[in-house]
Structure 1
């Protein structure tokens, strides 16, 4: 049987230029050493888990408002179907490439497993940028994108959702095209509108779930959210609804951000100020415009929020937004909790700094699993042709996040590393997927 190091070397040799994917693989594999020492049979599964079951790349031609033809790339990586249909979002952003889609799909395998819902791991998207495009241009792009994607998805095969650049508008346009082509009204996409297959709480789910996980961790240590100073990055759905839930539980939210800089309220955002910021973002404005709404706000041009003193950091923007220097600054400023709302927002050097300084670090695959959890609940409602109330979905979400927190805590303790939630999340998710693959004969081990 190959060693862990040999497997890592083989993955690197196959995809030497896929930096984001290799970063995600290294983060998981390195943290899992205690699992492989305790249960060597799982090493036989590792090579298969690191290789997608299927990768689809396609051309997306569409016409802009000037009548000119534009070409983008589309992707769908179907990574692992061991415990259920492929499930993962679609990202529309100019930085999208195969490496990013593979890293997101790889993370999605374990995130989905942690929810305990029957969902495999996948991801997709395009290098199309919806910013600055008219609704008619976005419509034409989405229709062209779905004209190819529909061949590879289905309610029992692969159920995409939204991600960066893909909100209710884009999901609606793609769902309409899917129905037009297939003549079927199926739960083939999640994040749909309420009234035609969507679930209540879905827009709020990732942000709410993130704060529920934080709240469970604080309570487990005899503490609470009340009075905690929170720095948030991002200003989209995750950040907005995380802020809403933080305020509800008595915390103080100090920051939001976008790619141009950070908006900082020294005395905190109240609910009214959050609504004003949301209104700016809803019309696709920038955080800097909030200065017109508040006499106390400060704008930190070109900076991330991590220089602002806080008790808790909730990175909720994008990958690798917390690097080694940012992590050192957070530690120096007294930050004790880092719960990740975005996918892989802390690089591996930053994670080591958090762990070396006893910061409670809760990784994205566990902390932001609320979004895909409610997507799974949307799939269940679609399959049963039912709608659950807002309270029903919220209570199910809270229960899922509590189970995720407890599972990560208990798995880490079982492996002799209490408090190492990175190990707990990776090991618990990996074990569930690996056991399914072994039992289904997808891999073979002599150590059953």
Structure 2
């Protein structure tokens, strides 16, 4: 509940202006609830209008993307880039290609990115972008033509010292390669303007694994500090089967857990003996297949239509790695009933407010997305550093830096939670720790 008068006033303004953007309103309300003890302790933030400025993007770019399909027919999509906040560094955040993309979705992602990037301690502001283009079912040539058309407009607004996009849902190595090539062709410069690049042209080792590995490093550290526990011997349920889910599965298995599920937009598979990751990688990374194929190839595995059913599988730890709002209140209640004690988020805002309330009521260890899935943008920031130095670190060096960053996020969050009277609350702590750094930078830089 919002009780602070300053916070309530600003949220009412957001509702009035952006009432047609439910995902953005949800993200703002969740953050604002956590920030109430912070703004009460820092009245200077109200005088400086920090919250009013925080929820208003510095720039929203919306553009037409016209491209030609393999039949020679012109197709038209919408492109977006929201440059939300640059108080602590250039805008940084991924590009998402999915039919669900609209301005509200991109704004919610960009808003979350402000605090997520702040938590990494790296000098990165918050931004996000994408398009309602769906690469599924498209040929490589169609994806290339779309990416080239998209970058032809986007290149006017980005740069290594201005705004550095990365990948997100449906924007992987193939798409980043096409986008980078078009930027280089138009701007005639070779720079670290995009992250998630191939290793041959400026990418970083461990970037592909970063979000999934980072999620597990965060979860392991939170378990160690708050529960004197670990992944060892635990049953883990993971949603999704993209990069985040695959490498969260890989690291959880390395840490001694048994991961029993994987899913995609059609349904989920349950393997009581533990997911065979080589088969999932072959299906999803090898030939972009559907997860249903797993059950056809692995004796004893079950396939179920409907991806939400994954949360009915009994587990000790749940790691949602698919998409926003995939766990609602009913699914959260089922998780608790079936013995789940830990939920840490690999996707962006995968739990509804009702689900979060269930976690908190039942004392689950809850790691919010902006903290738990910050590993991807953390290694993106490390890729930017390597590009600036014109060098490459080894996988082991980068992975060690990632692990250190994720462990520091847990420590920062717990310290902030204690400072503002909510000891052990990782959600409030993450929001408070990320916000204070950005707010102080905004105040120091004047009214912008």
| Shorter-chain TM-score tier | over 0.9
1:244 and 1:40 mapped to 2: Cα distance? 46
Q: CA deviation at 1:293?
A: 1.4
**1:393 is matched with which residue?**
398
Determine the structure 2 residue equivalent to 1:29: 32
Q: Where do residues 123-272 of structure 1 align in structure 2 (5 Å cutoff)?
A: 123-220=128-225, 221-269=227-275
Question: Is residue 2:297 matched to residue 1:299?
Answer: no
* TM-score, structure 1 as length reference: 0.97
Give CA deviations for 1:214-252 in whole Å, capped at 9, x if unaligned. 111111121111001100000000000001001111001
Structure 1: runs of 5+ lacking an equivalent: 444-448
Match in the other structure for 1:7: 10
Q: Distance in 2 between matches of 1:329 and 1:306?
A: 7
Query: Residues of 1 paired with 2:101 and 2:253: CA distance?
Result: 34
Measured on the aligned residues, the alpha-carbon RMSD in Å equals: 1.0
Local SS of the residue matching 1:55: strand
- The equivalences for 1:38-187 within 5 A come to 38-43=41-46, 44-187=49-192
Distance 2:186 2:338 in 1: 55
Secondary structure of 1:411's partner?
helix
Q: Determine the structure 1 residue equivalent to 2:330.
A: 325
Distance (Å, rounded) in 2 between the aligned partners of 1:361 and 1:40:
29
Q: Quote the Cα distance in structure 1 between the aligned partners of 2:41 and 2:188.
A: 51
1: distance between equivalents of 2:40 and 2:90? 31
Extract structure 1 runs of 4+ deviating beyond 4 A. Answer: none
- SS of residue matched to 1:296: coil
Q: Answer whether contact 1:104 1:343 (CA < 8 A) is retained.
A: yes
- Residue 277 of structure 2 corresponds to 274
Aligned to 2:422: 417
Q: TM-score, normalised by structure 2?
A: 0.97
Q: Which residue of 1 aligns with 2:384?
A: 379
Structure 1, residues 280-327: CA drift from partner, whole Å, max 9, x if none?
A: 112111111111211110112114211011110000000000001011
- Matches of 1:4 and 1:330, distance apart in 2: 32
SS at match of 1:338: strand
Q: What's the offset of the Cα at 1:268?
A: 1.5
Distance apart, 1:39 and its partner CA: 2.2
State the distance in 1 between where 2:6 and 2:166 align: 36
Counterparts of 1:339-350 in structure 2, within 5 Å, are 339-350=344-355
Q: Note if contact 1:360-1:419 (Cα within 8 Å) is conserved in structure 2.
A: no
- Give the gaps of 5 or more residues in structure 2: none
Q: Decide whether the 8 Å contact of 2:264 with 2:307 is kept in 1.
A: no
Shift of 1:2: 6.4
Residues 209, 398 of structure 1: 8 Å contact kept: yes
Aligned residues: 440
Pair 1:288-2:285 in alignment: no
C-alpha distance in 2 between matches for 1:193 and 1:318 = 25
SS at match of 1:189: coil
- Out of 318, 339, 343, the residue aligned to residue 338 of structure 1 is 343
What residue is the counterpart of 1:446 in the other structure?
none
